[in-house]
Amino acid sequence: MGERTENEAGEALPPRRILVTGGAGFLGSHLCERLVRDGHDVVSADNYFTGRKDNLAALFGKPRFEALRHDVTFPLYVEVDEIYNLACPASPVHYQFDPVQTTKTSVVGAINMLGLAKRTKAKVLQASTSEVYGDPDVHPQTEEYRGNVNPLGPRACYDEGKRCAETLFFDYHRQHATRIKVVRIFNTYGPRMHPSDGRVVSNFIIQALRGEDVTIYGDGSQTRAFCYVDDMIEGFVRMMQTPEGTTGPVNLGNPHEITVRELAERIIALAGRRARIVHRPLPADDPMQRCPDIGLARRLLGWEPAVPLELGLERTLSYFDRFLTGAAHERAQG
């Protein structure tokens, strides 16, 4: 992590000016920190719908970092060498709150960032998602799989918005020779996850730390594969550094599955609290299996997850323990 950037000949490259949309979000803030640490000038653009300024606290005041309040559904005029397009609510709780705006963020935001890349001749990376595969009937999912998506369901604003964004990226590449990179993100966790994003890791951790019932939707036999945030950011950076013509899409995620019930049991044990598991009905279109085939990432990027689940969960638990303690202190102070 944090190594200098080199070209294919192994020569150090000069610092680049890099835009990160959604830079105050969970993944965006970690990416901004990594890029600043690597010596680049970084601009974060975020409308703070789900992103939080606190996520960027360590960067404020650093000469190589600046933050803009900006919604990607409006054009942005900056001079940059690279763009990481991460802007979009990424959890069902948030993207279903305003589904029309979610679709606009994915589609219009992609058009605006591709237009900026076309004008500045910047490389642009699209943070797509495993949700493009829908409720898959192929397991594990390879990049060639075209998906099983319900275009009319409550998750479609995100699923179809991201699918359309991928279409736009490849059409700009074919029509305008825009330098694109596309990654498909599978379940990722770690410090700075939004505390109310409704995802299983953050839900289970907060409930366990509070000594509340831990809620599982369905019977808990559905499987997920969890990638720690530092590993995911490493995948982003490596993808951006691939040679011209390497566009993706490339799956980034952890190929080792775990049932939701086993995840809940591990988190309860790590939290050291007495907590009871309770079951609720499974939400509409919630996939029973989600697991990446990362063979392409291994071949193209030399990448695979390195942080074990137990270690990643410990770090995430520590973060949320501090977060909840700080929130309680603020309430006590009035």
Inter-residue contact 254 to 186 (CB < 8 Å)? yes
Concatenated DSSP letters of 86-100: --S--SHHHHTTSHH
Phi, psi of 259 (to 5 degrees): -75, 155
Run of H or E residues at 330: helix 309-332
Closest Cα to residue 188, out of 133, 239, 141, 253? 253
Closest Cα to residue 255, out of 201, 305, 192? 305
Measured CA to CA, the distance from residue 193 to residue 189 in angstroms comes to 7
Q: Which residue among the candidates 158, 172, 189, 228 is catalytic per the annotation? A: 158
Q: Is 95 a catalytic residue?
A: no
What tokens does 196 get?
């109310």
Inter-residue contact 64 to 37 (CB < 8 Å)? no
Inter-residue contact 131 to 159 (CB < 8 Å)? yes
Closest Cα to residue 134, out of 264, 284, 295? 284
Give the CB-side neighbour count of residue 86, counting CA atoms within 13 A: 28
Concatenated DSSP letters of 150-163: -TTSTTHHHHHHHH
- 85: three-class secondary structure by DSSP: strand
* Residues that are catalytic: 158
